[in-house]
Amino acid sequence: MVWGNCGKTLKGMLQRLQNRAARVISGDSYEVRFLDILSKLNWKTLEERRNEQQLKCVSKALTCQCPENISNMFTMSNSERYDLRSNNSKLVLAKPKTNSLKRTFRYAAAKVWNQSVS
């Protein structure tokens, strides 16, 4: 969660570091695709791991299994005018006016949650 909302450049650097570590551990050369190496080691990309952690945290927040200040970050979307099945489990997602809002845990986790339930 610490590196979850860092910039693209830093995420890329961290992913390259994981890729190099996977090559060292597996002993494979640079001719082998890193996704094949990760699959062989049964590892996930850092992006997949960040998304999983965010989904776990949101799930705990929605079921009140975490501190109240985190639980209060997320609100389920209620569409009273329309009875749409897709709206039942989505979270309210504020429209970002700046890029700094997009990097907050609250926004990023709600976005990942909404993408996973659709």
Whether the per-residue pLDDT at 56 is higher than 90: the answer is yes
Confidence of residue 6 (pLDDT cuts 50, 70, 90): confident
75-80 contacts, C-beta under 8 A, 24 or more apart: none
- Res 79 pLDDT > 70: no
Question: Residue range 55-76: average pLDDT?
Answer: 91
Q: Is the pTM of this model over 0.85?
A: no
Percent of the chain with pLDDT over 70: 89
- Overall average pLDDT of the 67-71 stretch: 90
Where residue 93 falls (left for φ over 0; alpha for ψ -120 to 50; beta otherwise) is beta
**pLDDT value of position 81:** 47
pLDDT reading at 82 higher than 80: no
